Amino acid sequence: MEWLRLILGSAFLLVGIVFFAIQLYGIFRLDYALNRMHAAAMGDTLGLAFSMLGLMIFSGLNFNTFKMIIVVVLLWNASPVSSHLLARLEVMTNSKLENHLKVYYKLKDLEDEPEQGSGDDSTTDQKGQTK
């Protein structure tokens, strides 16, 4: 039974460390602030959850495990909320936001264009019936 706990706990700690490494790579390599914040938030929630789960398996069922569960729950609630608030602040105050959203504006322009020549000459009355 101890070997199983050792293997499972080590596996979860290793997965948590991998998520933290991906988080660091995303923070330092991504160009735009919102992309970096997304990488940081995902690394915090997933990396912390897997690492703490590994530590809970190592610790066994005791009061320390309960405290680690509380820490994970609090951080899972706090990290997305703070990331969302920081992202809204970035969007509201960034004067160069259009440079990062060129693709979004192109798609929006395509959606706003009216259809030309649908080929259907039928008309509808006020009740939605075709004449």
Structural domain contains residue 34: yes
Higher pLDDT, 119 or 91: 91
Provide the pLDDT confidence category of residue 53 given band limits of 50, 70 and 90.
Answer: very high
Q: Is residue 124 part of a domain?
A: no
Structure token digits, residue 39: 């990488």
Q: Is residue 82 part of a domain?
A: yes
Q: What is the mean pLDDT of residues 101-112?
A: 66
Residue-by-residue DSSP string for 84-113: HHHHHHHHHH-TTHHHH-HHHHHHHHHHHS
CA pair distance 120, 84, nearest whole angstrom: 46
For residue 53, give its domain range: 2-111
Half-sphere exposure of 31 toward its Cβ, with a 13 Å CA cutoff?
Answer: 3
Give the number of domains in the chain. 1
* CB 72, CB 78: distance < 8 Å: no
- 45 within some domain: yes
Q: What is the mean pLDDT of residues 54-59?
A: 92
Is there a domain that residue 128 lies in?
no
Rounded percentage of the chain residues whose pLDDT exceeds 90: 36
Whether 45 and 76 have beta carbons less than 8 Å apart is answered as yes
Taking only the tens place, the pLDDT of each residue in 28-40 is 988 877 788 888 8
Q: Phi, psi at residue 125, to the nearest 5°?
A: -90, -175
Q: Which residues contact 131 (CB under 8 A, 6 or more apart)?
A: 122, 123, 124, 125
Length of the chain: 131
Is residue 10 situated within a structural domain?
A: yes
